[in-house]
Amino acid sequence: MNQFSTDVINLGRTPERFDGLVNTPVFRGSTIVVNSFSEWEEFKRNGGVYRHYGRFGAATAKSFESAINALEGGAGSMVFPSGLSACTHALMACVEANSHVLIADNIYGPTRNFADNILARMGVSVEYFDSTNLEALTEKINHRTSVVFIESPGSMTFELSDVAAISAISHQYGAKVLVDNSWATPLLFQPLKHGADISIQSITKYIGGHSDILMGVATANAETYEQLTKTGHLFGETTSPDDIYLASRGLRSLAVRLKQHQNSALTIAQFLTTHPAVKEVLHPALETSPYHDLWLRDFDGSSGVFAFYLKESKPSYVQKFFDSLKLFHIGLSWGGFESLILPVGQAYRTHTNLPKDGYLVRLNIGLESVVDLQKDLEYALKCAEQMLVESVI
Ligand SMILES: *Cc1c(COP(=O)(O)O)cnc(C)c1O
């Protein structure tokens, strides 16, 4: 992560272009006028006049995209109005009717819903596979496969996939590899360097970092960039310059925030590992994780989202646990400064066997004092355990 600490400060900033202002300002605008007829005709010759229109993004967008692209090591990035929008447009850029897509069983739920509803309706055959098992991929991939879409780690159960091996297999069949990289951010993992074709970020999460924007970005390699941006533009996708400004502001503190998220999450994960009410902790950076070796090989650190199974899944016990927390609030999303907890129960899977007993809980470890966070969990677990003892008596 350290290699990027300076980059996140400087990338995408050009004060000399903006009267010395440290940050690229918010540029609003639809129309971009030209000075003369000949300039207009020149635009026509060089890629078309329609490039010179607000929908394609002004300096605010371009500064941010260039920073993300440099971090991901791509040929170019494109911002989208949400993380989901980045996922769906990246998919749309790579599929055609009668093609086949393979999607990891642990993919973000709404991405799955898009594939099952929209892609399927357009005549794309959608199939799921266990992306931690290369044999499952080789069994299902074929010459009609246009996309293999994975998320590593999955954002509910935190299994890692071997992006390099999956990319090598997929490319033999001419399929594009899309990776939802929101958990790691480009600071901890760069999918394109491991062979993927498009890396996707939900900016809403760590890069935004403050739970105040919805935004996404997709970064492509040289062979895929034009395909990605053309599709996004044909759909008329635009992203608010105000949101992009906030995303750029988030990026400046990303390295220090991630360091704190990482350390606190590891402390809490270790604490939970030793707690008698906890069945299992799902965090790839724990030595006990089956994905630990892969994590060491590919990642430069870990972030602050992970999950664990409570041994007990009795509804009254689970409710007592959640309602006894004071610092962790129940809510969707993650990557912000505030700690969150999500009652999952059982993650939805169709091609993977998950434990049937226990109750899955996802944590977003925020930037509060880790001592306070641990105390909060400890207290809530104690309340739930006490209730269990009392109800048995
Ligand atoms: C949240 C999330 C998304 C979608 O991002 P939004 O900005 O909420 O649309 C995509 N992928 C993963 C892994 C996410 O956690």
Ligand 1: list residues with CB < 6 Å.
Answer: 82-84, 87, 108, 151, 155, 180, 182, 202, 204-205, 214, 216, 333
For the chain, the first-to-last Cα distance in angstroms comes to 52
Rounded to whole angstroms, the maximal C-alpha distance in the chain is 89
Of the pLDDT bands very low, low, confident and very high (cuts 50, 70, 90), residue 90 is very high
Is 225 noted as a catalytic residue in this protein?
no
pLDDT of residue 216: 98
CA 154 centroid distance within chain: 9
Is 205 noted as a catalytic residue in this protein?
yes
Q: Tokens for 281?
A: 């902790």
**Domains in the chain, please, with CATH?**
253-389 (3.90.1150.10)
Is 128 noted as a catalytic residue in this protein?
no
Instruction: Determine if the peptide bond prior to 153 is cis (ω within 30°).
Output: yes
Residues of the chain with pLDDT > 70: what percent? Answer: 98
pLDDT of residue 263: 98
Q: Per DSSP, what are the bridge partners of residue 150?
A: 179
Q: Is the pTM of this model over 0.95?
A: yes
Averaged over 173-200, what is the pLDDT?
98
- Residue given tokens 């739930």 in the structure block: 384
Residues of the chain with pLDDT > 90: what percent? Answer: 92
Q: For residue 17, is pLDDT > 90?
A: yes
pLDDT of residue 128: 98
pLDDT of residue 125: 98
- Read off the pLDDT of residues 278-290 as tens digits, 9 standing for 90 and up: 999 999 999 999 9
Distance 332 CA to ligand 1 centre (A): 10
- Read off the pLDDT of residues 100-126 as tens digits, 9 standing for 90 and up: 999 999 999 999 999 999 999 999 999
Of the pLDDT bands very low, low, confident and very high (cuts 50, 70, 90), residue 2 is low
Nearest CA to ligand 1 atom 2: 202
- Tell me how far CA of residue 303 lies from CA of 144, 176, 181, 313, in angstroms: 36, 27, 12, 27
Of the pLDDT bands very low, low, confident and very high (cuts 50, 70, 90), residue 393 is low
Q: For residue 3, is pLDDT > 80?
A: no
Averaged over 329-358, what is the pLDDT?
95
Of the pLDDT bands very low, low, confident and very high (cuts 50, 70, 90), residue 44 is confident
Is 108 noted as a catalytic residue in this protein?
yes
C-alpha–C-alpha distance, residues 240 and 60, integer Å: 9
Q: For residue 46, is pLDDT > 80?
A: no
Helices 254-273 and 370-392, axial angle in degrees (round to 10): 30
C-alpha–C-alpha distance, residues 51 and 43, integer Å: 8
Please tell me which residue in 105, 108, 225, 245 is annotated as part of the active site.
Answer: 108
Please tell me which residue in 17, 55, 297, 375 is annotated as part of the active site.
Answer: 55
Nearest CA to ligand 1 atom 7: 83
Q: For residue 97, is pLDDT > 70?
A: yes
pLDDT of residue 101: 98
Q: How much is the mean pLDDT over the chain?
A: 96
C-alpha–C-alpha distance, residues 360 and 365, integer Å: 16
C-alpha–C-alpha distance, residues 146 and 150, integer Å: 13
Contacts 24+ apart (CB under 8 A), 290-299: 290/159, 291/132, 291/153, 291/158, 291/159, 291/160, 294/160, 294/162, 295/160, 298/160, 298/163, 298/164, 298/189, 298/194, 299/184, 299/188, 299/189
- Read off the pLDDT of residues 229-251 as tens digits, 9 standing for 90 and up: 999 999 999 999 999 999 999 99
